[in-house]
Structure 1
Amino acid sequence: MSLSARQWLDRIRALPLDGPVRIMNVCGGHERSITSAGLRGALPAAVELIPGPGCPVCICPEEDVFEAMQLALNEELTLVAFGDMLRVPVNVPRSEPRSLEQAKAAGADIRPIASPGEAVAIARQDPERPVVFFAAGFETTTAPVAAMLRQGVPDNLFVLLSGRLTWPAVAMLLESGAAGFDALIAPGHVATVMGPEEWQFVPERHRIPAAIAGFTPESLLAAMYSVLRQLQERSCFLDNCYTQAVRAGGNPTARRWLDATMHVADAKWRGIGIIPASGYALRDACRAHDARAQLPSYADDSRKRVGEMPAGCDCARVVLGQIYPDQCRLYGAGCNPRSPVGPCMVSDEGACRIWWSGGVRQRRDVAERSTG
């Protein structure tokens, strides 16, 4: 019989915790569930939950957003993108459009969509007009894009791909020697697609307890209890606390489609730099629908702060778990959901947006988190 959230909390509170325990929850969806359920306040004071690098909008390269904007502004085409991407700011003079939303207001044909199927439908409505699908996201978003390509798309549909893998950012943190966490909660939806095996390196290579969780308080608390027990018992393994959806090997069809249409490549993460083997790129078999191969390039490396976060924005440090959202210099002081400066305040999976929506409205002026 499965336990309730209250029962899991009782079990966690009964653990004899010797000192502070830092648990990183990688996924933005996890952070949203944790905040909306008030789990931080319900856990023992010794348990510290750290938002991690699981927001695709937050880490989407600034250069890719700029490229999408310039294509929409300068070419006779329609650009479609997932809704969150429309408000992500780029680094250009204030006299120019600074987001896809502002480019749309300036006259570009830019439309928000919720699924790859909508991109296909828009392309079929006007076969003579090029449609560019700016596809940014992690594995769970990129797999449907792969399925779309594998199943066949209209000749006038092109993909500007900005897909990323989740686990390499965690690997980079752990290999840096300054990860700043003692245990890890891995994203259940990614493991559903790619398989739990991708996260095995955390306990095996780094001797850090890990658990895969779903998005209910019960699943998250079960995963927290698991990693806390592992720390207590000085054991390290990967625990699957989302057995309803996560199976060994993941989704074989999704993985097959990803492999058929894309390959893994070194990739940029905004404000962080290049992380090896952390991105998806279209294979030559998809070249006819690759926007980078078929359309003009508007890359401009002469721009100030190319690839960086906006001036004064600490989103990169928030994404890496080095500071909490309300420790950003701009949090609540010029950066809020109505007027976002950094990408972490844009997306529903951005830690800053989540904390603001959860009622944290004041910046706290304290030293950054310890990574000891």
Structure 2
Amino acid sequence: MALDARQWLDKIRALPLTSPVRIMNVCGGHERSISMAGLRSALPDMIDLIPGPGCPVCVCPEEDIYQAIQIGLNEPDSIVVAFGDMLRVPVNVSSKSVRSLEQAKAAGADIRPIASPSEAVRIAKSEPGKTVVFFVAGFETTCAPVAGMLAEGIPDNLLLLMSGRLTWPAVEMLLDYETPSFDALIAPGHVSTVMGPEEWQFVVDRHGFPAAIAGFTPDSLLAAIYSVLRQKLDGRIFLDNCYEQVVKPHGNPTARRLVESTLTIVDAPWRGIGIIPASGLELSADYAQHNARLRFPVHAENARKNAGAMPPGCDCARVVLGRIKPVDCKLFGASCTPRSPVGPCMVSDEGACRIWWSSGIRTRSAEHEETTCT
């Protein structure tokens, strides 16, 4: 019989922990569930839950956002479409310049938010005289349906500006640090559903860290937290699947085949972090005719102040890397709020800063004053 959240909490509280344990969750959806359910305040003080690199909007290269803005503003007969969160992410230009896709729309560019790849196809078919540029920022769960869209065939006037990213290379990079910022890992459920649980086996085999895959309910998350804690206590390290009802061995074979047949893995920049080898997804050579990077001039302007970086004073990169908590950023809740975000982590629904603010965590002391599930 499956345990409920209260029962898992009782089991966790009964564990004989003698030293602090830092557990990183990779998924923005996990962080939202943890924060909204108040799990941090429900768990023993020695357990530190750390949000990690689980927000594709947060790590989307600043220069790619700038490129999308410039296409919208400067390319005649163009329509730029993107998932809603991307429209508000600011780039590093002066306050007098257009700083986001949302501002480019206000300035007259044809910028449209969409919720799925099929909307991009529909818009391209309904606007045959326009060039539609689909700005794709997302992890494996976003790139899989984009791959399906490509495999089905897309209109000639639909181009893609790809900023797809793989999640595991970022975790590998964190584990390769001399002093990793966490002791155990909660691996993402949705990514594992697509790519398979095996994608996270390296955490155990190469680095010897406890790992568990979780779903998005408090009971699944608490089961994964209990698993990695028991692994540490027992000295028996393995990859545990606490989301078996959805995550199956080898993932979704069809989705993986579509990704492999339409996209190619490349070295890729992560905003504020730098280039992570083999972490990007770009259109394969067979789909080069739909690659917006090859069709339009590169609006790089690397001479721009802080081009490619986080905004000045913004600590989003260290939040994404799990080096600091959102409340440790000096801009959090001051000049940076959801109404007027400075950094991307305050824009996206999967950004740790936005999640913490929405959950009522406004100061460090408030981390332990959440509404709990008990």
TM-score by length of 1: 0.97
Aligned counterpart, 1:192: 193
Show structure 1 runs of 5+ residues with no match.
365-372
Offset of 1:206 from its aligned partner? 0.7
CA distance in 1, matches of 2:178, 2:149: 40
Structure-2 residue corresponding to 1:169? 170
Residue of structure 2 equivalent to 1:369: none
Structure 1: distance between partners of 2:267 and 2:212? 27
8 Å CA contact 1:35–1:355 kept in 2: the answer is yes
Equivalent-residue separation in structure 2 for 1:274 and 1:242 (angstroms): 31
Q: Distance in 2 between matches of 1:248 and 1:118?
A: 31
Deviations 1:219-278 (A, max 9, x none): 100000000000110111000000011111111111111111111110000000000000
Distance 1:15 1:194, change over 3 A: same
- Tell me the secondary structure at the aligned position of residue 212 of structure 2: strand
- Map of 1:240 onto structure 2: 241
* CA distance in structure 2 between the partners assigned to 1:84 and 1:354 by the alignment: 13
Partner of 1:55: 55
For the residues of structure 2 that align with 1:284 and 1:80, how far apart are their CA atoms? 23
Taking the TM superposition and a 5 Å limit, the aligned residue runs for 1:135-214 are 135-214=136-215
Q: How far apart are 1:300 and its partner, in Å?
A: 1.2
Report what 2:38 is aligned to: 38
State the match for 1:105 in structure 2.
Answer: 106
Do the aligned partners of 1:328 and 1:363 also contact (CA within 8 Å) in 2? no
Cα distance per residue 1:73-127 (max 9 Å; x no partner): 0012000000000000100111111010111111100000000000000111111
Aligned counterparts of 1:231 and 1:164: Cα–Cα separation in 2 = 30
Match of 2:256 in 1: 255
> Counterpart of 2:370?
none
* Letter of the structure 2 residue corresponding to residue 189 of structure 1: H
1:368 corresponds to: none
Separation of aligned partners in 2, 1:285 and 1:336: 43
Letter in 1 for 2:145: P
Identify the residue that residue 215 of structure 1 maps to in structure 2: 216
Output the CA distance in 2 between the equivalents of 1:323 and 1:362. Answer: 13
Shift of 1:58: 0.3
CA drift of 1:176 comes to 1.3
Matched residues in 2 for 1:363 and 1:195: separation?
Answer: 36
Q: Deviations over 1:318-362 (max 9, x none)?
A: 000000000001001100000000000000000000000011224
Please name the residue that 2:330 is paired with.
329
Letter of the 1:78 partner, please give it: I
Q: Please name the residue that 1:227 is paired with.
A: 228
Measure how far apart 1:299 and its partner are: 1.6
Deviation at 1:12, TM superposition (A): 0.5
What residue is the counterpart of 2:368 in the other structure? none
TM-score normalised to structure 2 length: 0.96
Query: How far 1:179 sits from its partner (Å)?
Result: 1.2
* Alignment partners' CA distance in 1, 2:22 and 2:346: 24
Contact 1:214 1:241 in 2 (8 A): yes
Residue equivalent to 2:372: none
Separation in structure 1 between the aligned mates of residue 354 and residue 31 of structure 2, nearest angstrom: 10
Matched, 1:22 2:33: no
Provide the residue aligned with 1:348 in structure 2. 349
How far did 1:22 drift?
A: 0.5
Secondary structure of 2:52's match? strand
- Go from structure 1 to structure 2 and tell me whether the alpha carbon gap of 1:91 and 1:363 turns closer, same or farther (over 3 Å shift): farther
> Deviation per CA, 1:252-309, whole angstroms, max 9, x where unpaired?
1111111111111100000000000000111110011111112222121111101110
- Check conservation: 1:331, 1:363, Cα contact below 8 A: no
Other structure's SS at 1:190 match: helix
Q: Partner of 2:85 in structure 1?
A: 84
Aligned partner letter, 2:201: Q
Q: 1:3 — aligned with what? A: 3
Alpha-carbon distance in structure 1 between the residues aligned to 2:355 and 2:50: 13
Structure 2 counterpart of 1:8, which letter?
W
3-state DSSP class of the match of 2:232?
Answer: helix
Identify if the C-alpha distance between structure 1 residues 174 and 258 changes in structure 2 by more than 3 Å, giving closer, same or farther.
same
SS at match of 1:142: helix
Identity of aligned residues (%): 69
Amino acid at match of 2:37: A
Mapped partners of 2:196, 2:256: distance in 1:
9
- Partners of 1:137 and 1:164 within 8 A in 2: yes
CA distance in 2, matches of 1:189, 1:179: 24
CA RMSD of aligned residues (A): 0.8
1:126-137 counterparts in 2 under 5 A? 126-137=127-138
Contact 1:332 1:363 in 2 (8 A): no
Q: Is the 8 A contact 1:265 1:277 kept in 2?
A: yes
Deviations 1:177-228 (A, max 9, x none): 2211110000010000001111001111111100000101111000000000
Higher RCO (C-alpha under 8 Å, 6+ residues apart): 2
Is residue 71 of structure 1 aligned with residue 71 of structure 2?
Answer: yes
Over 3 Å off, 4+ runs: none
AA paired with 1:340?
Answer: P
Number of aligned residues: 364
Alignment pair present for 1:302 and 2:303: yes
